[in-house]
Amino acid sequence: MRKVKFRFSRKAFAYPYMIFLLLFVVVPLVIVLINAFLGDDGKLTFDNFIEFFSDASGGLTVLGNSLIIGLVTTLICLVIGYPVAYFLAKYHASSKIFVLLFILPMWVNFLIRTLSTKAIFMALDIKLGMGTIMFGMVYNYLPYMILPLHTTLVSIDHSYIEAAEDLGADRFTVLWKTVLPLSLSGIVSGVTMTFIPAISTFAISEILSSSKIFLFGDSINMYFSKATNSLGVGSVMSFVMLIIVIIANVLMSLTEKKEEVKSAL
Amino acid sequence: MKKLFATFLCVLLLLSVVLAVSACDDKGVTTDELVVYNSADYIYDTELTDFKEYYRAVTGKNIKITYVTYDTNETMLTKIEKGDSVVDVVCPSEYAIQKLLEGGHLVKLNYFDEDLYTDGFNFAGYEHFSGQIDTNIIDMVEAAFGNLQIKDEQGNLTEDKITDYFVPYMYGTLGILYNKQEFKRLGIYDKDVINKANWGILFNDDGSGNILSEGLTGNILMKDSIRDSYAITLFYLKESGKLDGLTSPDGKTYTDMPVSELINVADSQVLDICREVLTEQKKQLFGYEVDFGKDDLLMGNAIVDLAWSGDAMYAVDESWDDYLCPKCVSQTGEKQGTDIICSECGAVCGDYELSYYVPHSAGNIWFDGWVIPDTYDPSHLTAIKLFINFLNNPEVAIQNILEIGYSAAVSPEAIRQVIEDDDELKGELSEAYLVNSDYWEKVDEDGKQIEKFKFNSWQEFEEFFFDYRNEMDNSNWRYPFLIDVNGNGVYDRALNTLGVMRDFGENNKAVVTMWNKARSTGVNALPLLGYTVLAVAVVVGIIVLCEYLKYLKKTVVKIPKSETDGSASPKD
Amino acid sequence: MKNKIGRIFADGYLGLILALMYLPIFLIIVFSFSGSSRFSFADGFTFNSYKAIFTSGAQSANLLSALKYTLILAVSASVISTVLGTFSTIGIYYLGRKVKKITLTVNQLPMINSEVVMAVSLMVFFAAFSFIFPQGMTRLIISHVAFCTPYVVLSILPRLQQMDPNMYEAALDLGSSPLAAIFKVVIPFLTPGIVSGFAMAFTLSLDDFIITQFNKGDTGIETLSTYIYEDARVKSLEPFWFAVFSIFFVVILTLLLLINIRKNKKEAAK
């Protein structure tokens, strides 16, 4: 009798937080969704959705551009970051400081990092535009890609690699056919951690292109900070971003499930 | 011990309560209160202290001022319309005043009727300053907002005018801040060229649809502000002939409209053309700025910027270069003894590198003013009225002009008069502007004698400050109402080349949508995608090639290997 | 031989990437001593920009005020989320399977969601219920707790899973009250998770920009991030900012290196 009572009270520790989550995470998102259906006059309407999906205010264009930039950034980060994580795991697995050096910039305020890169571009007379944005994005998000990749690569059981080498595989085949598949969950995790922020970034594009290049985050920012009347379209855009995030995460968890099934076999 | 501690706490508590209560009951000099809501950086630094002294002198009471600032009119409008905090007096821009007025949020001020205004208080030391305000401004305001339907509390139309509800504070124009030296270097620093290009300068258009200068591409700054960017685009549309032959929904031809009407057009066909033009313009732009345009020009990062007159004046002032020759417009100055002489034409060097130009074809004049919102506290009314009146004292106005840079609504004649009578003020101005006059000790902070002056005499300075003529079209950009109507090659500013922007009203959403679309398009990430897909395809191709070569190696090498050295191959 | 070549190639690549990553930081620090923002040593080696931090009047005052608010916010938010997170994790662990899964999924939401969406949703929520939540620190602290606590939870949960369930039962059997058992047995065991959760929450709050930017309202509160955004973006990088950035870089990088070196030494000693 006594034990049941205490288990009940331990569970209760979670209740305040559950209420907190409901109130400050779920309800706000619901309100955004509701706002998406409200017109300027406060009445329920599909106008906002129509305005966004018909590209009347450039919403789809901006989404497309952001997705492309996000994708390319993620790809470049993957291509640059994977070798970094791999080499670190292979040759410097014991030296945690070395790894730390790559992750450290992540902890410096991203505005400072971005403004520093802008200062350098200006000093070198490099024109601000798409090129500088891509550099800034990769520079900013590279540590986010390296971290999960490295964590996974370091935890790969060496016996797999040794077995592959014993079976006569040369180094490239080992990498290609053994290490890469085993690090897939790290790749997926790194991609998600980079892609999502990359498509919704706003300060980077504003700073590194002098507001010339207008991305999804910039657009949402404009709707919510300047045009105080038409929150509807901004809410639609936020909602669309939320859907994209959910889809990306569902895909990620699906691949993880596949991995679990594979390794179980 | 515990008991002692508890008693100690109780005594402490009692003491603090007593102190708090006694603090509330200030039996000393009575203190009035005032809540002021103004745009950021819009009064000179010691103004509040000066006002407190003035208030003390006139009423004999102390006053506590809560000074709150806003960064955009939208923020200010939301706060006033929500109405949950006390705001006694606020300084919105003209279109925001219109919005508040139409929304019934403003209280009648009657500043221009001294009897009505001072009805309710009677102070011996009070001097009403409404006569100091430039009548040109009042005319302009009434012309721009004359047709406002102002309703009273019951909803009935009244005969009220907008000037019954507000007092103008500052005004200015929207124009082009540009780098003189760069323009000369690019070969476009010429009266005819610039006066032909007009607003096209911002679009790198020389006035006939051709590129004004290759060197301007990527060096033009626009403002990240819907209203300002839209207004000048409208002007450019008219200049470049893109509005020719088009008529508005109510049958008027755009090209026949006076500036004051054109500037407020928001029809969908015009919006479409604007959007195309704005999207095209991006190729020529350095970027969009909110505030740092003048800094970018001062640092040489860009050559042209859309700027407000106050910002422009500040930037021009900061751009003084001792080695710049005013005649050659190039940095050809060389030090010879104590002077800097131009090595090419021999003139004395020293000029401003930047300059401000308001295209003569059409322009925007804006203003803001003080109003009493309905969120005011009636017990503060006297303080409000004294505050507003205080701002129109020419002595206060000139401090504001010096600090903020924009032109005050107080007429230049009144200000001139004040300076004439005040030697101390002349000294301050001489020091600030490096005028070689008798009104100050010409030493710098280290005690060294200052030798290089910007103005060789007080008269020279007065000409600059009050009668400055822009070298391109002879207009006065500090006081656009002071114009030379007659004379050759002098452009008539008057009230009909400068229009006032009204609130967009129901067209607001359409304009915002247009602006968002213009900002979003013109940038294509597709090439980026193309290159990436290409790169990925190349890499995949290489990998496939390697694998294929390996496969070939395995099948080709196997056969001779099993014949020559007899070692077992995997295939066997 | 092959291995050596491979290693040289690898180190070369790592060195290159590392150099590129730290190049902007290095350049900013070097040129903060040049007193100009044009990346030239025309004025020689000087501490002017550093002096300017203290003498810039309004800017210095604003910077200091922003620093103050940033620290207040970070400390309160991290303390609250750590406390909330610790007890919630214990509670979550003992939830029924379905409820546990739902709670953990919602808990994940602030982590996986894009910051912009989080910021916007909180902003409209506060606007809708503005009579309950006054503008200013209240909203900011709540927002920060909202996005920091999930990290605390996920930092403590694995540690809790490692705990031997019998420890708690043993404490009860020995006569301890359930609350005391939690405070004296469970929580001490969770300490590593709690500490790393706290560190995580503190850093996240310190570094946050987007959520603070949207929810700071018009009360004039600025954190370091928002003030840098307002001023440095607008003033187009004066030398003043070079000095500020340099201090940031040096302080944060040194701090983190020291913390981690200490951590490594501790682990090596074990």
Q: What is the pLDDT of residue B557?
A: 62
Q: Closest Cα to residue B213, out of B228, B227, B200?
A: B200
Q: Is B277's pLDDT higher than 90?
A: yes
d(CA C48, CA C34): 8
- Inter-CA distances, A212 with B485, B506, B527, Å: 41, 28, 17
Q: Is B488's pLDDT higher than 50?
A: no
Percent of chain B at pLDDT exceeding 90: 14
- Residue ranges of chain B that CATH labels 3.40.190.10: 26-108+110-164+368-392, 173-362+497-521
CATH number of the domain at B173-362+497-521, please? 3.40.190.10
User: Of the ranges A227-236, B222-231, B332-341, which is most confident?
Assistant: B222-231
Q: Span B55-78, mean pLDDT?
A: 85
Q: What is the pLDDT of residue B19?
A: 62
Give me Rg for the CA atoms of chain A.
Answer: 23
- Inter-CA distances, B541 with A77, A178, B549, Å: 21, 21, 12
Q: What is the pLDDT of residue B290?
A: 82
State the nearest Cα–Cα gap between A43 and chain B, in angstroms: 16
d(CA A235, CA A217): 12
State the nearest Cα–Cα gap between B220 and chain A, in angstroms: 11
| pLDDT tens digits, A122-136 | 878 788 888 889 999
d(CA B547, CA B532): 22
Q: What is the pLDDT of residue C246?
A: 83
Which one-letter DSSP state was computed for residue A128?
P
> The domain at B26-108+110-164+368-392 falls in which architecture?
3-Layer(aba) Sandwich (3.40)
Task: Identify the CATH class of C57-269.
Answer: mainly alpha
Q: Is B559 exposed, middle or buried (0-12, 13-18, 19+ CB in 10 A)?
A: exposed
Any chains having at least 3 CB pairs less than 8 A from chain C are: A, B
Q: What is the pLDDT of residue A88?
A: 86
Q: Search chain B and give the residue with CA nearest A79.
A: B536
Tokens at B526, concatenated: 């597709």
Q: Search chain C and give the residue with CA nearest B45.
A: C58
Q: Of C13, C95, C252, which has the smallest distance from its Cβ to A14's Cβ?
A: C95
pLDDT grade for B27, boundaries at 50, 70 and 90: very low
Range scoring the smallest mean pLDDT among B2-11, B65-74, B485-494 = B485-494
Q: Span B496-517, mean pLDDT?
A: 85
The 3-state secondary structure of chain C, one letter per residue:
CHHHHHHHHHHHHHHHHHHHHHHHHHHHHHHCCCCCCCCCCCCCCCCHHHHHHHHCCHHHHHHHHHHHHHHHHHHHHHHHHHHHHHHHHHHHHCCCHHHHHHHHHHHHHHHHCCHHHHHHHHHHHHHHCCCCCCCCHHHHHHHHHHHHHHHHHHHHHHHHHHCCCHHHHHHHHCCCCHHHHHHHHHHHHHHHHHHHHHHHHHHHHHHCCHHHHHHCCCCCCCCHHHHHHHHHHHCCCCHHHHHHHHHHHHHHHHHHHHHHHHHHHHHHHC
Q: Is A262's pLDDT higher than 60?
A: no
The residue behind tokens 């609250």 is C80
Q: Are the beta carbons of C234 and B299 separated by less than 8 Å?
A: no
Higher per-residue pLDDT: A40 or B249: B249
| pLDDT tens digits, A142-178 | 998 998 888 888 888 778 878 887 887 777 777 777 8
Q: Is B124's pLDDT higher than 60?
A: yes
Angle, vertex CA A171, rays to CA A170 and CA A173, nearest 5 = 70
d(CA B144, CA B496): 11
Could you please state the CATH topology (level 3) that the domain comprising A56-264 is classified under: MetI-like fold (1.10.3720)
Q: Span B211-218, mean pLDDT?
A: 90
What is the number of alpha carbons within 13 Å of residue B501 lying toward its C-beta? 27
| pLDDT tens digits, B412-431 | 888 888 888 888 888 888 88
Q: What's the ipTM?
A: 0.84
Q: Are the beta carbons of C236 and B292 separated by less than 8 Å?
A: yes
Q: What is the pLDDT of residue B491?
A: 44
Run of H or E residues at A102? helix A96-103
Interface A-C: count of C-beta contacts within 8 A: 221
Q: Closest Cα to residue B63, out of B41, B36, B38?
A: B36
Q: Of C38, C121, C125, which has the smallest distance from its Cβ to A238's Cβ?
A: C121
Q: Which residues contact B62 (CB under 8 A, 6 or more apart)?
A: B29, B30, B31, B32, B52, B55, B56
User: Of the ranges A64-68, B544-548, C229-233, which is most confident?
Assistant: A64-68
Run of H or E residues at B288? strand B285-289
Mean confidence (pLDDT) of chain B: 83
Q: What is the pLDDT of residue B569?
A: 45
Q: pTM of the full predicted structure?
A: 0.83
Q: Is B548's pLDDT higher than 90?
A: no
**Mutation target vs C (from B75, B291, B294, B403; most C CBs, 10 A cutoff):** B291
Q: Are the beta carbons of A100 and C260 separated by less than 8 Å?
A: yes
Q: Is B213's pLDDT higher than 80?
A: yes
| AA letter at C126 | F
| pLDDT tens digits, B32-48 | 889 999 988 888 888 88
Higher per-residue pLDDT: B559 or B236: B236
Q: What is the pLDDT of residue A158?
A: 79
Q: Which residues of C touch A245 (CB under 8 A)?
A: 112-114, 117
Q: Is B572's pLDDT higher than 50?
A: no
Q: Are the beta carbons of C229 and A7 separated by less than 8 Å?
A: no
Q: Where are any strands of DSSP class E within chain A?
A: none
pLDDT grade for B485, boundaries at 50, 70 and 90: very low
Q: Of B285, B520, B528, which has the smallest distance from its Cβ to A72's Cβ?
A: B528
Q: Is B281's pLDDT higher than 50?
A: yes
Q: What is the pLDDT of residue B490?
A: 43
Tokens at A133, concatenated: 């944005």
Q: Closest Cα to residue B357, out of B199, B197, B177?
A: B177
State the nearest Cα–Cα gap between B76 and chain C, in angstroms: 9
Q: Are the beta carbons of B512 and A134 separated by less than 8 Å?
A: no
Q: Of A55, A130, A214, which has the smallest distance from its Cβ to B528's Cβ?
A: A130
Q: Is A218's pLDDT higher than 90?
A: no
d(CA B207, CA B186): 17
Q: What is the pLDDT of residue C78?
A: 93
Higher per-residue pLDDT: C119 or B478: C119
Window A:145-204, CB contacts with B under 8 Å: none
Q: What is the pLDDT of residue B43?
A: 87
Q: Of B75, B295, B301, which has the smallest distance from its Cβ to C235's Cβ?
A: B295
Q: Is B390's pLDDT higher than 60?
A: yes
Q: Are the beta carbons of C88 and A238 separated by less than 8 Å?
A: no
Q: Are the beta carbons of A107 and C149 separated by less than 8 Å?
A: no
Which residue ranges make up each domain of chain C? 57-269
The 3-state secondary structure of B480-493, one letter per residue:
CCCCCCCCCCCCCC
Interface B-C: count of C-beta contacts within 8 A: 19
Range scoring the smallest mean pLDDT among B86-95, B561-570, C6-15, C122-131 = B561-570
Q: Search chain C and give the residue with CA nearest A228.
A: C124
Q: Which residues pair with A165 in a beta bridge?
A: none
Where chain C has pLDDT below 50, the residues are none
d(CA B258, CA B236): 14
The answer, for C235 touching chain B at a CB cutoff of 8 Å, is: yes
**Mutation target vs A (from B280, B516, B546, B553; most A CBs, 10 A cutoff):** B516
Q: Is B141's pLDDT higher than 90?
A: no
Which residue ranges make up each domain of chain A? 2-36, 56-264
Q: What is the pLDDT of residue B307?
A: 92
Q: Are strands B285-289 and B220-223 parallel, antiparallel or unpaired?
A: parallel
